[in-house]
Structures are given as C-alpha cells and as structure tokens.
Amino acid sequence: MRRIYIGLDLAAKPSRCTGFVAIEHKQKLDVVEAMCLSLDDEIVYAVTRFENPVVAIDAPLTTSDKPLRSVDRKMILLGYRVLPPSLPHMRMLTSRAISIATKLREYGATVIETHPRSVLKSSKCSSVEDLAKKLGIELKPNIAKNKDIRDAFLAAVAALCFDFNCSNPIQESDGVIWLIKELCLYSNLNS
C-alpha cells in the first residue's frame, strides 16, 4: 500500500522558505518531493494532492496561558532545545501552524507537531545523511544544501515513525511533540 509522509519546516512569515518534503512508502522509502514553499494556500495544495498523508509540522500546534507549555518544559528537561510559543516570533509561527493544521485536517490529513533538531538528536544518528542511510532513503541534493528542506526531511521522518511504530512522543496535558526512537542503534527499517 502506498502512503505519503510529509514534513513541513514552517516559516513564521510567508515571505520565507517553508521546507516541504514528501516521503513515499511503497515497497521502499523514497523522497518524492523536496522544495521550498511560501504561501499558506500553496502549502495546503502541496499536501492535499496526496491522499490521507501523515504531516509533521515543525511548529507548536497548541498554545498555553503560561509563558512555557508543560510539553516544552519536559523537552528542555530531557535535553532538547525548544523555543516557547510565547515569544513574539513564535506566536506568529504558532498561529500560522494552527491555521494550516486545521485546513489539512479538514482534507483528511493526520497532523502532528515535531521538532527536527530534536528528532535527529533522539535518533542517535550523527547526521541527516546517517539517518537517511539507516532508513534506506536516498537524499535529494537540495536536502543537504538547504537547512529548511533538511529540517522538513527530519519532520517527514517523524511522520513516518508515527506510522511505523518508531516514534517517541513527548506528551503533557498541553501538547505532544513527536520525536523518534534511537534508530541508529537498530537495524535497517526498510529491509
């Protein structure tokens, strides 16, 4: 069965690159798209061309009355460096992420929150290339060259692990941030 896993490294402002990566799972895992997008409608269209994808967004999908969500506090205690949604730049990002996630869910997408730098750290892989190799995925050249697309690839891996039982959710009452298990300590998932 064909399934698509999408990672979005969402920019706070539409004038900046939002990294977009789609990984297809048929008989093996392949990056089928890796690019920069900008406008909300462009992002929604790019995702909704695929049937019922799992989408991982690098942005808070919940808010809190407190300066720091409990889930962010837990991430920090576990050694992951995240920014609180209460910062002005993060408020703009969070608002945009919640709006896009709502639209994607209306189209049947499963949408989760992730944090790419923490995904790589939780994987125990030494690099994005090492993680891709572990998964049996060949990276497109623009993934290595563009930070936003590279982070979108890591988000797509979080979406993939959401389905493949290799996720490591960090959960509190005010949100869930989906990371991945220590994949570089285990055998190839794609064999």
**Mean pLDDT within 38-66:** 95
How many other C-beta atoms lie within 10 A of the C-beta of residue 61? Answer: 19
0.85 exceeded by pTM: yes
Read off the pLDDT band of 121 (50, 70, 90): very high
Q: Which domains does the chain have, with CATH numbers?
A: 3-185 (3.30.420.10)
**Mean pLDDT within 65-79:** 93
Q: What is the pLDDT of residue 144?
A: 82
Q: What is the pLDDT of residue 141?
A: 86
Residue type, 32: V
CA distance 87 to 68: 9
**Mean pLDDT within 65-83:** 93
**Mean pLDDT within 87-95:** 90
